[in-house]
Amino acid sequence: MTYATTVIIGAGQAGLAMSYELTALGIDHVILERGNIANSWRKDRWDSLRLLTPNWQTRMPGGAYTGPDANGFSHKDDFAMRLQSYADMHSLPVHTGIEVQSVTLGPFGYRVHTNTGHFDCRHVVVASGACARPAVPKLADCLPRNLPSFTTFDYKRPSDLPDGGVLVVGGSATGLQLARELQRSGRQVVLSVGEHVRVPRRYRGRDISWWLDTTGLMDRGYREVDDLARVRRTPSLQLAAGHETLDLNALQAEGVQVVGRLSAIRDRHALFSGALRNHCDLGDLKLGRLLDHFDNWAAKHGSERDLPRAQRPVPTQLPDAPRLTLDLSSGEVSSVLWATGYRTDHSFLNLPVFDRRGRLEHDGGIVTAAPGVYVMGLPFMRRRKSTFIDGVGADARDLAKDMTMQLSGAIAA
Amino acid sequence: MTPTGATPEMGGFETRGWLTRAVRKITRGVITDTPINPNEDISMNEQTPIAIDNGVNVEALLGARQAISQMPAAGQFTWRATCKWQTGVHSRSTVEGFFGLGEEQDRGASFTIDADHPAQFAAGNAGATPLEIALSALASCLTAGVASVAQNRGIQLNKATSRVEGDMDLAGVLGVDGGARNGFNDVRVEFDIDADATDAEIAALVAQSQKRSAVFDIITNPTNVSVSVA
């Protein structure tokens, strides 16, 4: 039996940031990691992936970017190496190759069962990631059996797919990036798009990350929004690393065929929603409001001179009659790629902490049904940037503070 | 970045009266066993100052939304119509009760809708064609959504009219051309809206009403339909 006050599950940016905070507070802890540090970045993403945020915004607590390319976008493997160096530099207590099998109640609070034994602890920090598994819709079961399909966890590079056309399902960052990569590999891509969040990569001479950060949107707290459940469900921004905008207009200019949300597969035909125009209108309107917000901010803060006026992006262009069907047995596409989002995997928590849909219930990362259990890295968990590398520091600080209050309460009692 | 999105998921039917009562009934624990704080009236929503009036009871809709999120079974509705052949291609549909909020509901009225075809189809012209009724249903659903979203966003609506058109190739239904579709090839709705709002806000009303319209959904997405003989 091993005891630590706190057990952190997962050594990605969230787990490491929490470890940094606990180290600073002198709270003894361990980080349990099933693979190596930054395992998901190394193993569960596609080869070409680079961070969506510029290097200057990779601000881990006690580990800001100091390299030569502050406005560049790091490759995922380089970022993984930086996390490794971060853990080494701060001597964070990472135990690699330890797979957590379950978390139960234990003599001091909780017991974390692993493939190599168990840890008893007062606090558990679940930092296993918001993107632990690909989320694939149920209708995937209706695909013709002889049509190969891939998730974003299977897919590493275009050559993984058979030659020929490919249906990419998903209109957020992942779907758009992979549609572009596959189209450029010589495959005809049909991209199925539902509701999406369109943003320009740059506006008025600045990167979108600068705008979101500077105008305070990234710091917006979870108690400050009207409809938290809806905000937490909002899909990721349509973005790719680099200085160019990746949106449906850009993809169509490269030859990608855009179709509506995949609403059914019937008689070996994929059926697409006729609501594509409205989904694009919603995205364009939301984009307009975002840019209005930036313009208002610029006017209010007297930065008009530093921020040259820029054209608004043109509305999303679509064919007059986007296609509604695709015969999946015609050979037009020879594979399907599901870029339909990610989900958490908290199934190892053998505690009564889930809502009726099986989602972990928490209040800003504090799992109220199990005092001492915390979660990190979920969408809009404590603030908009909670899922961003730049957001884990502030969340870790808040949650670590809650932990110290718990500990001092325990001593006082 | 994400302004309040009104969600009149239940847009398209009369919202005064029974819905308010039904929501109160749910929230008082008749259907759910969720304990209710008697001092808390969930049908009031503090973030919606109602200084304008489009005739939509948004508090009731928001109350229903909250009640149904606590008690999903109450949100399962079944709508019905009965239809009786008159003569020729004339038929008359009647709508009365429906199921929802956990039990049979009585709207205290019945409505009839006649469908026929015009003389150009050698028919009796006793009503609109079913296609026109479908277009009317779409326009009505979107209009209800526009009014509800406007109310929720504090926008006074002065006028909302729409013109809806659907194109079809008669070769489909007549079996002339196996490649022609029976139904619409294209549907267009054009709104003319006068409201105390900017053009962008009006565009957002119309977009949001599509996003939350039941009829827009069943026209734009496939639905399983089974037809049997009793």
The C-alpha atoms of residue B103 and residue B181 are separated, in whole angstroms, by 39
In this structure, the answer to whether residues A8 and A87 fall within a common structural domain is yes
Structural contact between residues A58 and A71, judged by C-beta atoms closer than 8 angstroms? no
Structural contact between residues A258 and A168, judged by C-beta atoms closer than 8 angstroms? no
The C-alpha atoms of residue B15 and residue A407 are separated, in whole angstroms, by 52
Bridge partners of A354, per DSSP, are: A360
Query: Is the pLDDT confidence value at B41 over 50?
Result: no
- In a mutational test of the B interface, the residue from A193, A230, A285 whose CB has the highest number of chain B CBs within 10 Å is A285
pLDDT given at position B123: 96
Residue pLDDT, tens place only, A235-244: 999 999 999 9
CA distance A223 to chain B (A): 14
In this structure, the answer to whether residues A109 and A50 fall within a common structural domain is yes
Q: Which residues contact A65 (CB under 8 A, 6 or more apart)?
A: A55, A56, A58, A59
DSSP state at residue A235: P
pLDDT given at position A260: 97
In this structure, the answer to whether residues A150 and A265 fall within a common structural domain is yes
Contact list in B for residue A231 (CB cut-off 8 A) is: 2
The C-alpha atoms of residue A58 and residue A44 are separated, in whole angstroms, by 20
In this structure, the answer to whether residues A372 and A333 fall within a common structural domain is no
- In a mutational test of the B interface, the residue from A289, A383, A384 whose CB has the highest number of chain B CBs within 10 Å is A289
- Retrieve residue A269's tokens: 């035909």
Whole-angstrom CA distances from A342 to A134, A135, A231, A319 are 4, 5, 16, 30
Residue pLDDT, tens place only, A314-362: 999 999 899 999 999 999 999 999 999 999 999 999 999 999 889 999 9
Query: Is the pLDDT confidence value at B114 over 90?
Result: yes
- B1 in contact with chain A, both atoms CB, cutoff 8 A: yes
- Retrieve residue B201's tokens: 């806000």
**Which of B4, B186, B221 minimises the CB distance to A321?**
B186
The C-alpha atoms of residue B176 and residue A277 are separated, in whole angstroms, by 31
User: What is the pairing mode between strands B90-95 and B111-115?
Assistant: antiparallel
Residue pLDDT, tens place only, A126-173: 999 999 999 999 999 999 999 999 999 999 999 999 999 999 999 999
**B151: phi > 0 → left, psi -120 to 50 → alpha, else beta; which?**
alpha
- In a mutational test of the B interface, the residue from A211, A265, A282 whose CB has the highest number of chain B CBs within 10 Å is A282
The count of other CB atoms within 10 Å of the CB of residue A305 is 7
Dihedral over Cα of A188, A194, A198, A201: its sign: negative
Question: Could you tell me the pLDDT band of residue B20, with boundaries at 50, 70 and 90?
Answer: low
Note whether B221 contacts A231, CB cutoff 8 Å: no
pLDDT given at position B37: 34
Please report, to the nearest 10 degrees, the dihedral formed by the alpha carbons of residues A317, A320, A324, A329 taken in order: -90
* Position with higher pLDDT, A265 vs A412: A265
Q: Of A318, A338, A358, at which residue does a domain stop? A: A338
Query: Is the pLDDT confidence value at B18 over 60?
Result: no
User: Poorest-confidence range of A231-235, A259-263, B166-170?
Assistant: A231-235
Give B18-75+128-220's CATH code, choosing from 3.40.640.10, 3.30.300.20, 1.10.150.130, 3.90.1150.10. Answer: 3.30.300.20
The C-alpha atoms of residue A17 and residue A395 are separated, in whole angstroms, by 9
Burial class of residue A114 in the structure, from the number of CB atoms within 10 Å of its CB (0-12 exposed, 13-18 middle, 19+ buried)? buried
**B55: phi > 0 → left, psi -120 to 50 → alpha, else beta; which?**
left
Continuous segment of H or E residues that includes residue B103:
strand B103-105
Query: Is the pLDDT confidence value at A311 over 80?
Result: yes
Q: Which residues contact B117 (CB under 8 A, 6 or more apart)?
A: B89, B123, B124, B125, B129
Q: Which residues contact A230 (CB under 8 A, 6 or more apart)?
A: B2, B5
In this structure, the answer to whether residues A121 and A228 fall within a common structural domain is no
In this structure, the answer to whether residues A87 and A193 fall within a common structural domain is no
Q: SS in 3 state form for A86-131?
A: HHHHCCCCEEECCCEEEEEEECCEEEEEECCEEEEECEEEECCCCC
Question: Could you tell me the pLDDT band of residue B29, with boundaries at 50, 70 and 90?
Answer: very low
The C-alpha atoms of residue A298 and residue A304 are separated, in whole angstroms, by 6
In this structure, the answer to whether residues A162 and A305 fall within a common structural domain is yes
Structural domain including A228 reads 137-338
For residue A406, which phi and psi values (nearest 5 degrees)?
-60, -45
- A89 in contact with chain B, both atoms CB, cutoff 8 A: no
Query: Is the pLDDT confidence value at B42 over 60?
Result: no
3-state secondary structure of B55: coil
Question: DSSP readout, A373-386?
Answer: EEE-S-TTSSBGGG
CATH number for the domain including A374? Answer: 3.50.50.60
User: Of A127, A119, A216, nearest to A396 (Cα)?
Assistant: A127
Note whether B47 contacts A226, CB cutoff 8 Å: yes
Residue pLDDT, tens place only, A52-76: 999 999 999 999 999 999 999 999 9
**Which of B5, B47, B210 minimises the CB distance to A275?**
B210
Burial class of residue A102 in the structure, from the number of CB atoms within 10 Å of its CB (0-12 exposed, 13-18 middle, 19+ buried)? middle
The C-alpha atoms of residue B118 and residue A330 are separated, in whole angstroms, by 41
Structural contact between residues A218 and A384, judged by C-beta atoms closer than 8 angstroms? yes
User: Of B163, B181, B160, nearest to B172 (Cα)?
Assistant: B181
Domain total for chain A? 2
In this structure, the answer to whether residues A216 and A285 fall within a common structural domain is yes
| Domain regions of chain B by residue span | 18-75+128-220
Whole-angstrom CA distances from B57 to A340, B3, B10, B64, B150 are 36, 21, 12, 11, 12
* Position with higher pLDDT, A77 vs B61: A77
The C-alpha atoms of residue B20 and residue B31 are separated, in whole angstroms, by 14
Please report, to the nearest 10 degrees, the dihedral formed by the alpha carbons of residues A47, A151, A51, A362 taken in order: -150
- A324 in contact with chain B, both atoms CB, cutoff 8 A: no
Q: Of A321, A338, A355, at which residue does a domain stop? A: A338
pLDDT given at position B13: 36
Q: Of A319, A338, A357, at which residue does a domain stop? A: A338
pLDDT given at position B103: 93
Q: Over pLDDT 70: what percentage of chain B?
A: 78
pLDDT given at position B35: 33
The C-alpha atoms of residue A387 and residue A344 are separated, in whole angstroms, by 12
Whole-angstrom CA distances from B151 to A412, B7, B92, B141, B165 are 52, 11, 35, 15, 27
User: Of A151, A184, A157, A162, nearest to A48 (Cα)?
Assistant: A157
Residue pLDDT, tens place only, A360-389: 999 999 999 999 999 999 999 999 999 999
Averaged pLDDT, A226-235 = 90
The whole-angstrom distance between residue B31's C-alpha and the CA centroid of its chain comes to: 24
Query: Is the pLDDT confidence value at B99 over 60?
Result: yes
CA distance A25 to chain B (A): 36
